[in-house]
Amino acid sequence: MTTLVAYIPFLEPCGMFGVYYWVLVAPLVFGIAVVYRATHDATLAGFWSRTGLFTIKSTFAMGLLALGMYLFVYFVLPILPAS
Amino acid sequence: MTESGLDRCGSRGFFGVEFDVMGRSSVLRAYCSLPRVEDTVAHADASNLDEPLNWRATFVGWIFPGMGQILLGHRRRGVYAMTGVVGLFLGGIFVGGVDCVDRREDALWFYAQAGVGPIAFGADWVNSSLLKTGRIGELVDSPPPFMSRDAPPKVSTFKSVTPMNEIGTLYCALAGLMNIVVILDALKRRPLEGSEREE
């Protein structure tokens, strides 16, 4: 509680995420998607829809990569012969 | 996947198909209703190569993200780019603290962060003049350097460590890199004239 009260935004790191810091990848991808769509598309029709879809697809793809890496490290690597 | 989905989407969606799970396919259906990709993606145009480069808009875009596009008349596009870049940068400082921008300790990261422009240099100034001097917070001893007899350096109690620092640094660096994309876009984007200005 003391930490929360003493927290000064922008001057010191935010400690509210704890071990769930990985969720911050979603707003990161969203920010990238906003800039990408603003510069890449010839028209801005459906801008936020496209940005949202870009965010969802990219985040989902990264999640799949993480899952693949998890499966590889925990299930594939242990069964490989060690010489 | 349904036949009707194929008929409705045709070539209008990325995939040209519609997945129908338990009778619900809202996401892809919404996507199929968007304009075709070839109508929205800015293709390289050979006639555009002869147009002069917008050096003024490029410089203004580095001074403040998105201002280059606004100067060229692409107001909405500039505001979107500004929202993305400044949002990413401020988000990084919010998550990791202003210590995420450090020209001396994290020089390589700062090269990327400097793409945001004077905002990044301002954040570095705040870090070095307020936090590192102890004007805000306190300076405490840090662990002594490995295999060194030098006195341990003093660090601010506001210095960020842990994954929060890494993520904040990454946010700020990506903001800088994305602003370079925005700057390059302003360099070659066709200026809007008269009634065209204001998309």
Q: What is the pLDDT of residues B87-98, one digit of tens each?
A: 999 999 999 999
In angstroms, the CA B51 to CA B49 distance is 6
Q: Do B136 and A11 touch (CB under 8 A)?
A: yes
Residue B66 sits in the same domain as residue B43 = no
Nearest 5°: CA angle at B124, between B177 and A28? 35
Contacts of B37 in chain A (CB under 8 A): none
Instruction: Determine which of B39, B54, B167 to mutate to test the interface with A (most A C-beta atoms within 10 Å).
Output: B167
Whether residue A53 is contained in a domain is answered as: yes
Nearest to B57 by CA among B188, B178, B196: B188
Residue B39 sits in the same domain as residue B132 = no
Identify the three-state secondary structure at position B82: helix
Share of chain B above pLDDT 70, in %: 74
- Please say whether the beta carbons of B56 and B174 come within 8 A: no
Mean per-residue pLDDT, A61-69: 96
Which pLDDT does position B133 carry in this prediction?
87
In angstroms, the CA B79 to CA B156 distance is 36
Whether residue A29 is contained in a domain is answered as: yes
Residue B146 sits in the same domain as residue B127 = yes
Residue B21 sits in the same domain as residue B96 = no
Whether residue A43 is contained in a domain is answered as: yes
Show the domain range for A20: 15-79
Which pLDDT does position B162 carry in this prediction?
81
Whether residue A9 is contained in a domain is answered as: no
In angstroms, the CA A32 to CA B100 distance is 19
What contacts B115, CB < 8 A, 6 or more positions away? B62, B175, B176, B177, B178, B179, B180, B183
Check residues B195 and B113 and name the one with the higher pLDDT.
B113
Which pLDDT does position A2 carry in this prediction?
47
Q: Strand B139-141 relative to strand B154-156: parallel, antiparallel, unpaired?
A: antiparallel
Among chain A residues, CA nearest to B34: A46
Which pLDDT does position A64 carry in this prediction?
97
Nearest to A47 among B80, B90, B97 (CB): B80
Q: How many domains does chain A have?
A: 1
Residue B103 sits in the same domain as residue B13 = no
Which pLDDT does position B8 carry in this prediction?
44
In angstroms, the CA B92 to CA B159 distance is 14
B126: enclosing H helix or E strand: helix B118-126
Residue B195, amino acid? S
Among chain B residues, CA nearest to A50: B31
In angstroms, the CA B44 to CA B57 distance is 20
The CA-atom distances, in angstroms, between B73 and each of B51, B78, B182, B186 are 16, 9, 15, 11
Residue B13 sits in the same domain as residue B105 = no
Which pLDDT does position B47 carry in this prediction?
53
Contacts of A45 in chain B (CB under 8 A): 34-35, 40
Which pLDDT does position B150 carry in this prediction?
76
In 3-state terms chain A splits into helix, strand, coil percentages (rounded to 5) of 75, 0, 25
Whether residue B13 has pLDDT greater than 50: no
**B132: its two tokens:** 């590192």
pLDDT band, residue B12 (cuts 50/70/90): very low
- Please say whether the beta carbons of A15 and A2 come within 8 A: no
Residue B93 sits in the same domain as residue B134 = yes
Q: What is the ipTM of this complex?
A: 0.86
Show the domain range for B69: 55-196
Assess A34–B contact: CB distance below 8 Å, yes or no.
yes
Nearest to B114 by CA among B126, B97, B102, B105: B102
pLDDT digits (tens, 9 = 90+) for B16-36: 445 555 555 555 444 545 555
Among chain B residues, CA nearest to A49: B31
Check residues B121 and B134 and name the one with the higher pLDDT.
B121
Whether residue A60 is contained in a domain is answered as: yes
Which pLDDT does position B158 carry in this prediction?
81
Residue B59 sits in the same domain as residue B154 = yes
What contacts B145, CB < 8 A, 6 or more positions away? B152, B153
Identify the three-state secondary structure at position B74: coil
Whether residue A3 is contained in a domain is answered as: no
Residue B133 sits in the same domain as residue B152 = yes
In angstroms, the CA B33 to CA B90 distance is 34
Residue B147 sits in the same domain as residue B124 = yes
Contacts of A53 in chain B (CB under 8 A): 27, 31
What contacts A12, CB < 8 A, 6 or more positions away? B97, B137, B158, B160
Q: How many domains does chain B have?
A: 2
- Give the predicted TM-score (pTM) of the model: 0.77
Whether residue A30 is contained in a domain is answered as: yes
- Please say whether the beta carbons of B57 and B77 come within 8 A: no
Residue B105 sits in the same domain as residue B24 = no
